[in-house]
Structure 1
Amino acid sequence: MTVTQTPVEDSLFGPLTVRLDTERGEVVVEGEAVPRIVLSRAAGTETDDHIPVGTRDGGRLTLTVAGEEASVHPAKGRLTRRSFRVDVRHAGHVWRLVPDSLPGSRFLRDGRRLADFYSEGDGEVTAEWRPETGPEAELGTGSDTGPDPTDVALGYALAAAFGTGAQPMWMLVSDAIGDLIP
């Protein structure tokens, strides 16, 4: 697979497009109601086929949000689910995508859970926005708790770039022990 372009109908911000180019190591998310997000791998970077964007080395990745540079910090991805987290810092906020089940990852802004994302690393991404952060929550309280366009675009971009979900540590350990027993 080289390039996939997937149209998405997001439940909060309508139509958007997720484009994943595994050969170039680039993810682009754009739509009328969301800022354009571009996450790209530096040319010449050694790639890992298990990571859609090709690397977890934040020093080899560039992220822009509506043309402004943002910092992206993927963890190394070792034994624990938390070690597969990806953090983004931009405009005074911190976003985190972190696996919390085999297929899915939770998406947070400043520590508050906004959504659950699902992607197998093929460019297709599904989002389930948390009811307490959606438009219904805003109607009830008048507070600014719901996801904004940047949240939406970043969530899709990170899920497409790194995939979602991870095995729990006990499964990884049992697989390793099973490999040692003849």
Structure 2
Amino acid sequence: MNDTASIPARIPPPVHDDRFGEVTVQLAAEQGELVVEGELIPRVTLRRDPAADVDEQVAIGTREAARLRLTVGGAEAVLRLGKGGISRRSYRVDVEHDGVRYRLVPDSVPSSRLTRDGAYVGDFLSDGDGRVIAEWREGSDVRPTDAAVGYALAAAFGTGGQPWWMMAADAVSSALP
């Protein structure tokens, strides 16, 4: 199957990454497909099972890892997703690929932090619309696979999150008459 067969023709312009040049993020939310590629990074694909229930709050359509298939550079990767709840950490996304563990977890209202084997490599910003901005940590040893995985996770699941106390305040205020 061609990885881009059902990706719509309207693709946002590539993002210029300071370390990895042009990066293209193709998100076809309706079809449950995401492709991230660039000249200096490996291709990442994420596909949602067509039988999965679609959650409109998630760009790729689900947070059920069993309903998603992730490949990095053509090789299968293991995807684990937090269930999402009150804490920012509950929205974490973990990937294991080629013996390396990645984690994308919200660390502020707009952004999420990417770590590789526990080492902080950068921050990502995305509203879940396929547009992604990466900010690499000064002095970090960022690798092409780090960038590819980070862009894909940010585009598929969005970034950022409110702190628990803000979510609790919202819940209380919405319960009041």
CA distance in 2, matches of 1:57, 1:153: 21
What's the CA shift for 1:169? Answer: 0.6
Question: Of the candidates 74, 77, 81, which is equivalent to residue 74 of structure 1?
Answer: 81
Letter in 1 for 2:68: L
Q: Unpaired runs of 5+ in structure 1? A: 134-145
Q: 2:11 matched to which residue of 1?
A: 5
Is structure 2 residue 122 aligned with structure 1 residue 109? no
What's the CA shift for 1:157? Answer: 0.3
Please state which structure has a larger fraction of its residues in helix: 1
What's the CA shift for 1:92? Answer: 0.6
Q: Unpaired runs of 5+ in structure 2? A: 1-6
1:1-182 matched pairs, under 5 angstroms: 3=8, 5-6=11-12, 7-133=14-140, 146-182=141-177
Q: 1:139 matched to which residue of 2?
A: none
Sequence identity of aligned pairs in percent?
52
Structure 1 stretches (4+) deviating beyond 2 angstroms? 2-6
RMSD of aligned alpha carbons: 1.1
SS at match of 1:69: strand
CA distance in 1, matches of 2:170, 2:156: 26
What's the CA shift for 1:106? Answer: 0.4
What's the CA shift for 1:5? Answer: 2.4
TM-score by length of 1: 0.90
CA distance in 1, matches of 2:87, 2:46: 25
SS at match of 2:153: helix
TM-score by length of 2: 0.93
